[in-house]
Amino acid sequence: MGKIPGETQQLLTIDGCQLRIRTVGSGPAEFVLVHGIGVSARYFGPLAAELARHGTVHRVDLPGHGGTAKPERALGLVDYARVVNGAMEGLGIGPAVLVGHSMGCQVVVELALHYPDAATALVLLAPTANSRERTAWQHSVRLFQDSLREPLIVDLIEFTDYARCGPRWYLKTLPAMLGQKLEHRIAGVQVPVRVVHGVKDPIVPLDWCRELVEACPDATLDSIAGEAHVMMFRSPEPVARLCLAPAAPGGDAAAGDRP
């Protein structure tokens, strides 16, 4: 999914790193959507359109992703968080609900830890990386398994995004994703956190999500029935409901089975 009707975009350079911000909607409630490794914000399109009915939504294309320029050096998760925060400050965005997907969850956790004024809450959609499978080989196998469970359009979006990212930048970023111990980092987050799990996700199993929730003092866990890793593309409405109430206890039965 490309540009949403009424959406604007800006290309910014923060600390020598280029990133893109696409904005749609209006209103005081703000949402910042951060994608996973190798891809772009395109797969957030249905969720962004749904959230734009309730507030202002900003889709981020991280440096080296989505056709943005490749930085001269590899970036760690803290580097990505610093660049996103710089863009938010430069555009007057926030504080906002920070919505991460896959590696984007790791980025928004670092953002909330280093720049606590940027976040009102975190929504972690299919957070990586499973503490029991932190090798490139295991991740590749799970990624392939997930491709068999996603809609064809999602696979097409991801594969074309991987091609734009390129293997060199992907492999430069992968060690940062696999090396972070999110179960330790999430413990320091001071805003409400909602972890969202796709029932059919082979990359992010339920026991890993439970481990994260147990590590975070103010976290809840919800599952989206029938969905795999990229849950928000085909099920934007239930995911949006969770983003709109990230601090609500007990989950939302309409969003799927409560684990």
Domain assignments of the chain as residue spans, ordered by start? 8-255
String of DSSP letters for 177-219? HHH--HHHHGGG--S-EEEEEETT-SSS-HHHHHHHHHHSTTE
Amino acid residing at 8: T
- Quick one: pLDDT band at residue 1, thresholds 50, 70, 90? low
CB 181 within 8 A of CB 207: no
CB 56 within 8 A of CB 27: yes
- Using DSSP's 3-state secondary structure scheme, residue 32 falls into strand
Sign of CA dihedral 55, 77, 19, 238: negative
> pLDDT tens across 121-171, in order?
999 999 999 999 999 999 999 999 999 999 999 999 999 999 999 999 999
CA distance 24 to 155: 25
Query: Is the link from the previous residue into 95 a cis peptide, with omega within 30 of 0?
Result: yes
Q: Which helix (H) or strand (E) holds 158?
A: helix 152-165
> pLDDT tens across 3-33, in order?
788 999 999 999 999 999 999 999 999 999 9
Tell me how many degrees the CA angle 170-164-182 measures, rounded to the nearest 5: 35
Can you give 53-110 as a three-state secondary structure string?
CCCEEEEEECCCCCCCCCCCCCCCHHHHHHHHHHHHHHHCCCCEEEEEECHHHHHHHH
Is the pLDDT reported for residue 226 higher than 60? yes
The CATH class that applies to domain 8-255 reads: alpha beta
Please name every residue paired with 31 in a beta bridge, in sequence order, or none if there are none.
57, 97
- Quick one: pLDDT band at residue 47, thresholds 50, 70, 90? very high
Q: What is the pLDDT of residue 257?
A: 47
Map tokens 């999914």 to a residue: 1
> pLDDT tens across 106-126, in order?
999 999 999 999 999 999 999
